[in-house]
Amino acid sequence: MAKKVVVEANINGEPIEFLCEPRQSLLEVLRDVLELTGSKEGCLTGDCGACTVIVNGRPLCSCLMLGVEAQGKTIQTVEGLAAPDRLHVLQQKFLEHASLQCGICTPGFLMSAKALLDRNPKPTEAEIRYALAGNLCRCTGYDKIVRAVADAAQTLASGQQPAGHLGSGPSATEQTERFLQEQEVK
């Protein structure tokens, strides 16, 4: 067995130091070492998105990243979404729109949606669907999820409800969407 490595990262706003084997994925580290079991293991091949977390502002599959790669990174997981006394607006809207049944895909959808809204606070339906294309749901279907994200965006834009306690990042998705729109125009 290869020697364990010390890794320092910021997870959900807290500087954290953990020990892991180089062969362990970030998902294994989150779940088995740090006991953050919100991120789910689905396909382990980057197809289903159940393990989506946000690393340095980008959504990615934590099953396709090694834990040792987290050194110096800022990571957000579903555990960091809600404030101690209230749900994140995305979580609230998922409940209101009944956007989940079994719930396995939900943490991944929430993190992809958060990455989208951080970068593009007023997404169109097409933009929402594009941003969620890397997340699979096999029970509810996508319509209610898309509606929840659109509603969350609207609520945030109207300033009725604060987002939660994690701050917003800079915009990559915004530029993605702009690129897509340019392509459509052409």
Tell me the residue length of the chain: 186
Q: Does 134 help bind other proteins (rule: CB under 8 A)?
A: yes
Structure tokens that stand for 50 in this block:
């159940």
CB of 131 to other proteins, least distance (A): 6
**Closest to 79 (Cα-Cα) out of 107, 105, 57, 55:** 107
**Calpha distance 32→147 (Å, rounded):** 33
Among 15, 85, 167, 186, binds other proteins (CB under 8 A): 186
**CA–CA dist 8, 74 (Å, integer):** 10
Applying CB under 8 A, does 59 fall inside the site for other proteins?
yes
Give me 72's structure tokens: 């110096």
Question: Could you tell me which stretch among 30-38, 60-68, 96-104, 158-166 binds other proteins (CB under 8 A)?
Answer: 60-68
Decide whether 29 or 92 has the Cβ nearer to other proteins: 29
C-beta closer to other proteins: residue 154 or 176: 176
Which residue number, 71 or 124, has a Cβ lying nearer to other proteins? 71
| Number of amino acids touching other proteins (CB under 8 A) | 41
Q: How far is the CB of 7 from other proteins (least distance, A)?
A: 10
**The pair of three-digit structure tokens given for residue 123, joined into one six-digit string:** 């997404």
Q: Does 25 bind other proteins (CB under 8 A)?
A: yes
* Nearer residue to other proteins within complex by CB, 86 or 178: 178
Task: Give the span between the Cα atoms of 169 and 166, in whole angstroms.
Answer: 9
Kindly state whether residue 36 participates in binding other proteins, applying the rule CB under 8 A: no
Which position among 16, 21, 82, 169 is part of the footprint of other proteins (CB under 8 A)? 21
Which of 107, 73, 101, 62 is CA-nearest to residue 88? 107
Residues forming beta bridges with residue 102, ordered by sequence position: none
Put the strands of the sheet holding 5-11 in their side by side order: 14-20, 5-11, 74-76, 52-55, 58-61
* Contacting positions for other proteins (CB under 8 A): 1-2, 5, 21-25, 44-46, 49, 52, 55, 58-61, 63-66, 68-69, 71, 112, 115, 130-131, 133-135, 172-173, 175-176, 179-180, 182-183, 186
